[in-house]
Amino acid sequence: MLTKEYWISYFQRNKNLFIVSTSILLLTIFFGYMTGYYEGIVSEKTTLTGINIVLSEIPYDFLDIFLTNICVDLSVIIYGFFTTIPSLETTFINGFIIGYCFAMFTLPDFLVSIMPHGIFEIPSSAIALTGAFIALKWELHIIKELLSRKKGLKEIFKLSRFMLNDVVLSAILCFILLLIAGLIESIITPILINLIV
């Protein structure tokens, strides 16, 4: 399952779902940004307050950061087996917060305090939502095949096993990306923030 060829086929099979997931995330980021912008968030005073909030609320412990993030993304994937509505809800919230932070900080502040780890967390969120869509797709496929009564349950599971493998691969990708993000956020981000405050 972890061969290079399988990874390539994984991305090719789910290309459209990746596009949909990324589009949803980007739209919510944009909505969060516009909300923050039109509320008059962008100001020198608020920017400094925002940086102080970041300083006070970031858990600098790697394990806390990683476990928090991985639990969120894994829950997004798992909720895919339950209509994906909770998955979409979580993605909307994450995207909105990212966009809102972008509006709150000046560009240099955002690039220093959010983006170093965000460049890994944001794709992870999109991949998690993709995993949720794959899970829903698998579930609907099983139901459709069972209703057609052309194949037995065992055969249906066997033929659609690759979809479950894709869900697992989505979780593995999230794990890797969030591991990197957690290391950056707990080690590098605090140093960068202290340099500009």
Long-range contacts of 188-192 (CB under 8 A, 24+ apart): 188/116, 188/117, 189/58, 189/112, 189/113, 189/116, 189/117, 190/55, 190/58, 190/60, 192/112, 192/113, 192/116
Q: If you average pLDDT over residues 91-111, what whole number do you get?
A: 87
Instruction: Kindly tell me if the per-residue pLDDT of 57 is higher than 80.
Output: no
Q: What are phi and psi of 179, to 5 degrees?
A: -65, -45
The tokens of 183 are what? Answer: 């290391």
Q: How far apart are CA 6 and CA 28, in angstroms?
A: 31
Per-residue pLDDT for 108 more than 70? Answer: yes
pLDDT above 50 (res 75): yes
Model confidence at 49: pLDDT above 50: no
DSSP assignment of 43-76 equals SHHHHHHHHHHHHHH----HHHHHHHHHHHHHHH
pLDDT at 59: 53
Q: What is the pLDDT of residue 197?
A: 62
Structure token pair of residue 45: 């005073």
84, with CB counted inside 10 A (0-12, 13-18, 19+), is buried
pTM (two decimals): 0.84
Strands (E), 34-185: none
Q: Is the pLDDT of residue 23 over 90?
A: yes
On the 0-12 / 13-18 / 19+ scale of CB atoms within 10 A, 183 is: middle
Percentage of residues in the chain having pLDDT higher than 70: 88
Find all residues with CB under 8 Å of 26, minimum gap 6, and list them: 95
Residue 15: the pLDDT is 96
Averaged confidence pLDDT in the chain: 86
